[in-house]
Amino acid sequence: MSDAIEYELKGDIAILRANNPPVNALGHAVRSGLIAGLERAESEAKAALIVGGGRTFFAGADIKEFGKPFKEPGLPSVCTRIERCSLPVISAIHGTALGGGLEVALGTHYRIAVSSAKVGLPEVLLGLLPGAGGTQRLPRLIAVERAIEIITTGRQVGAAEALELGIIDEIGEGDIEEIGVAYAQRILAEGKGPRPVGNMPRPTPVDFDAIHQAALTKGRGQIAQATAVRAVEHACNNDIDAGIKLERDMFMALLKSPQSQGMIHAFFNERAVSKLPELKGVEPRDVKAIGVIGGGTMGAGITVAALLAGLDVTMVERDSSAAQAGADRVSGFLQGSVKRGKLTADKYDAIMANGFRASDSYDALSNADLVIEAAFEEMGVKKTIFAKLDRVCKKGAVLASNTSYLDVNEIAASTSRPADVLGLHFFSPAHVMKLLEIVVAADTAPDVVATGFALGKIMRKIAVRSGVCDGFIGNRILKTYRTCADHMVLDGASPFEIDTAMTAFGFAMGPFEVADLAGLDIGWATRKRLAPTRDARERVATYADKMCEAGHFGQKTGQGYYIYEKGKRGGTPDANVTALIEAERRELGITPRAFSQDEIQRRYMCAMVNEAAKVVDEGFARRPLDVDMVLLFGYGFPRHWGGPLKWADLQGLDGILVDIQSYAKEDDFFWQPAQLLERLVAAGKTFDDLNKGDTV
Ligand code: 3H9
């Protein structure tokens, strides 16, 4: 028998205990261990109990095996074998029974769980659908609409809800194996036998066409959810074996799709991105109390994220009324968390009484372990603040700037302790957005970098290392694809067409909608800042400056690219913007041409990929996956493409290079092909090869 399933006979009960840390993924050894265990149980026991050793029941199929040749026994046949066992089979669930894990449990005849356990079918979050009977058994066990909802959202269902729905039969408290054995004994004592879910009546059909269409619309280009709806439909029209076969075909088709490859890339790399080889063995400094300079939206957001992570926060503002306004903002955000049920009222009171204070004096920071400056984006302002921090902060305190593009080396140089300085670039709203760029300056000490990553972990952020360049990883790439969008506008596309094309690609919002949300004054200020050093060959759209001169700063002024009416969601295209664009085209002598949705998407993505390749080649991002995670978690890049460089790999790098070279015939200043892209194409390699340690 395989070590991955430990077998123990306890009286009449055969215990099959998973031993495949960390999450008991259902790899080949586990699957064959389950089959062998059942066979042995049938010869010597009266019931079988399946339980997870360690911290959890099975967390699903082993995702690392996907893409490799499948080895028998496959998970669907394991679940069927369990279901057809001549003895009653019981699963005892703790931790998380997810995906194939829940499918194993659905194959068993009885299910008990501890109250902290969670169950779910999160396959759609990997671009897949449950492929071991989940779409056939769950709707036989619970109401079909509820099964569809659980399968298409991939959400984790708590034990209490699972009991109410009928996914599990009982909740017990205490040691999971003891609970499971006691439950199995009770089942034997009551004379109960196997109760196969597959033999339960087929679910009653619902309006599958409407549900399928709704899933397609909601998926914004993602296909897994809608495909899963069709798989559940098969449960209504087929016996269990035929349904499982159909489900299997659909699962295999999705597994080969670029979307699941993108999402699996995202799954592994959101975990890999913060594990830097250079930090192996480097101990982070202790961080319990932090300071935040600035009580604006950003400072308050950072404060809230830190407070929710259990840190003590002192906020400093320039005077007492600004400190009060900052404190009010923090309290408002936290009350929002209470309203949404994310924070209890008691916890809110405790935080406001003990964990947080706002002050107008830098002296309040003398005990802070780490300070994050989130003040106005102006080098002079930053230098003054860092000089003050240098005076008041204790030795060894980490001094961080939340700047989004300024030179962190220059900021560090304004202190007597540049080794303690780094950039911690949060994204607004900082208590919501997952991305944190850890900006490592020339003199930043390794343990300060490690402290940045440790803080990211405590605050549940996706922390990505960036070198110091204008805009760091994300905003530098953003600037390039935004410029590409501006060029398309000059040449004939409307901002609204571009937004439509990019939301169809999968972005939650198009670039012009995002600009309206962020405020158009930011881009205006950046253009003014960069104007003196701008290359004469650069094409710059100036209609946006005219919008700003007329006070169109986006959503906050009710007018940007779109007009926003109070009480209405979203905006409507502003005809004045179209007029300004047309005037500029006339001035420049441009005859506008039509852009198809495909061309808009292709040019936009090529600009993003080309700049991202330069950022990697220049070393500001260490690996392509760093760029991918920045765009996924900070810029709304669709997860089902895995990130821009994974998208590029999936499209084929040679085609992308050919397109960039053809665009360069129109504008060889903007479209300079990245040398890394050229080298990868020449070597027949992908960005993902670089993630795995390859070089070109
Ligand atoms: C499926 O089941 C398909 C079937 O329907 C049909 C098949 C035919 N496989 O997240 P953590 C690794 S699809 C391989 O940091 P946590 C993970 O990479 C699957 N590895 O811990 C990490 O490795 P490392 C459906 C896996 O406590 C380590 O375990 N199931 C798998 O924060 C610890 O993970 C899912 O989609 C796996 N299935 O969260 C569940 N899962 O240390 C996916 C984890 O090298 N997993 N690893 O970085 C999760 O959601 C979370 O990992 C879980 C634990 C909630 C379980």
Which residue has a Cα nearest atom 8 of ligand 1?
131
Dist. CA 341 → ligand 1 center (Å):
27
> Does residue 429 have a cis peptide bond before it, meaning omega lies within 30 degrees of 0?
yes
Q: Is residue 267 one of the residues assigned to a domain? A: no
| Angle, CA of 443, 448 and 451, to the nearest 5° | 160
Q: Are residues 409 and 482 in the same domain?
A: no
Provide the pLDDT for residue 377.
85
Distance between CA atoms of residues 62 and 206, nearest Å: 33
Quote the distance between the C-alpha of residue 75 and its chain's center.
27
Distance between CA atoms of residues 194 and 82, nearest Å: 10
Q: Residue 119: helix, strand or coil by DSSP?
A: strand
DSSP 467: -
- Total number of domains constituting the chain: 3
Instruction: Report, as residue numbers or ranges, the catalytic residues.
Output: 103, 123
Range of the domain at 180: 5-256
Average pLDDT along the chain: 95
Cα four-point dihedral sign 651, 654, 656, 662: negative
Report phi then psi at 372, rounded to 5. -115, 120
Q: Is residue 266 one of the residues assigned to a domain? A: no
Average pLDDT of span 215-244? 95
Residue 160's identity, in one-letter code, is A
Average pLDDT of span 151-173? 97
Which residue has a Cα nearest atom 24 of ligand 1?
271
Q: Are residues 451 and 479 in the same domain?
A: no
Q: What confidence tier does 2 reach under pLDDT thresholds 50, 70, 90?
A: low
Whether the per-residue pLDDT at 408 is higher than 90: the answer is yes
Atom number in ligand 1 closest to CA 129: 5
Radius of gyration, alpha carbons of the chain: 28
| Angle, CA of 49, 54 and 58, to the nearest 5° | 60
Dist. CA 25 → ligand 1 center (Å):
7
Q: Are residues 516 and 636 in the same domain?
A: yes
Q: Is residue 281 one of the residues assigned to a domain? A: no
Q: Is residue 44 one of the residues assigned to a domain? A: yes
Model-wide pTM > 0.85: yes
Identify the domain boundary among 466, 492, 527: 466
Q: Are residues 109 and 161 in the same domain?
A: yes
pLDDT tens track for 497-525: 999 999 999 998 999 999 998 889 878 88
What six digits make up the tokens of 441? 């300056």
Report phi then psi at 266, rounded to 5. -65, -45
Distance between CA atoms of residues 222 and 259, nearest Å: 7
Q: Is residue 295 one of the residues assigned to a domain? A: yes
Task: Give the largest CA-CA distance in the chain.
Answer: 90
Q: Are residues 491 and 619 in the same domain?
A: yes
pLDDT tens track for 38-48: 999 999 999 99
Average pLDDT of span 360-389? 94
User: Could you tell me which of 435, 455, 447 has the C-alpha nearest to residue 292?
Assistant: 455
Q: What confidence tier does 1 reach under pLDDT thresholds 50, 70, 90?
A: low
Q: Are 299 and 315 in contact (CB under 8 A)?
A: yes
Q: Are residues 454 and 479 in the same domain?
A: no
Stretch (H or E) spanning 568? none
Provide the pLDDT for residue 62.
96
Q: Is residue 277 one of the residues assigned to a domain? A: no
Question: Which of 20, 23, 98, 264 has most ligand 1 atoms within 8 Å of its beta carbon, as the pocket-test mutant?
Answer: 23
User: Could you tell me which of 48, 82, 169 has the C-alpha nearest to residue 117?
Assistant: 169
Q: Residue 20 is part of a domain; what is its CATH number?
A: 3.90.226.10
Ligand 1 pocket residues where CB is under 6 Å: 22-23, 25, 59-64, 75, 96, 98-100, 103, 122-123, 126, 128, 130-132, 134, 268, 271
Beta partners for 13? 10, 47
pLDDT tens track for 54-107: 999 999 999 999 988 889 999 999 999 999 999 999 999 999 999 999 999 999
Q: Residue 617 is part of a domain; what is its CATH number?
A: 1.10.1040.50
Q: What confidence tier does 394 reach under pLDDT thresholds 50, 70, 90?
A: very high
Q: Residue 297 is part of a domain; what is its CATH number?
A: 3.40.50.720
Stretch (H or E) spanning 281? none
Residue carrying the six token digits 């169950």:
119
Buried residues in 433-469 as b, exposed as e (16+ CB within 10 A): bbbbbbbbbebbbbbbbbbbbbbbeebebbbbbbbbb
pLDDT tens track for 553-593: 999 899 999 999 887 778 899 999 999 999 999 999 999 99
